[in-house]
Amino acid sequence: RKEVEQDPGPFNVPEGATVAFNCTYSNSASQSFFWYRQDCRKEPKLLMSVYSSGNEDGRFTAQLNRASQYISLLIRDSKLSDSATYLCVVLPLLGGYNKLIFGAGTRLAVHP
């Protein structure tokens, strides 16, 4: 079983749509969670951290359910510029150093 699993998509949505991505992780001891965005042939960039209480940043809302080991990202009022791959990222607690564990990503294509 993969440590972080995501629906690969692609999600093809019109501008203005609301779209939700889901992610599950296998290590119940994981400490921190993030959503990254990756454009084609570019490095991943942090979109937002994910907290148990849920958090919102403009049109983006992230939620964490530790009991179900489930993370979600909601994008409202999609823009063409939102087209990218969204990576679910988990930071386990490991000894002397921490390494980010990436999901394979969910592709989003927003069309006019």
Partner 1 sequence: GAVVSQHPSRVICKSGTSVKIECRSLDFQATTMFWYRQFPKQSLMLMATSNEGSKATYEQGVEKDKFLINHASLTLSTLTVTSAHPEDSSFYICSARDRQTGTSNYGYTFGSGTRLTVV
Contact set with partner 1 (CB under 8 A): 4, 8, 32, 34, 41-46, 49, 87, 91, 97-105
Q: How far apart are CA 101 and CA 66, in angstroms?
A: 17
Collapsing DSSP states into helix, strand and coil, what is residue 81? helix
Q: Which helix (H) or strand (E) holds 34?
A: strand 32-38
Q: Measured from the CB of residue 35, what is the shortest distance to partner 1 in angstroms?
A: 10
Q: How far is the CB of 55 from partner 1 (least distance, A)?
A: 11
Nearer to partner 1, 91 or 109 (CB): 91
Smallest separation, CB 27 to partner 1 (Å): 14
Q: For the chain, what percentages of helix, strand and coil (3-state, to nearest 5) are there?
A: 5, 50, 45
Shortest gap between Cβ of 48 and partner 1 (angstroms)? 8
Give the residue with the Cβ less far from partner 1, 87 or 108: 87
Identify which of residues 15 and 57 has a Cβ nearer to partner 1 in the complex.
57
Which C-beta is closer to partner 1: that of 44 or that of 83?
44
CA 54/CA 30 separation, integer angstroms: 17
Cα distances from 86 to residues 35, 67, 90, 93, 96, in angstroms, run 7, 23, 13, 23, 28
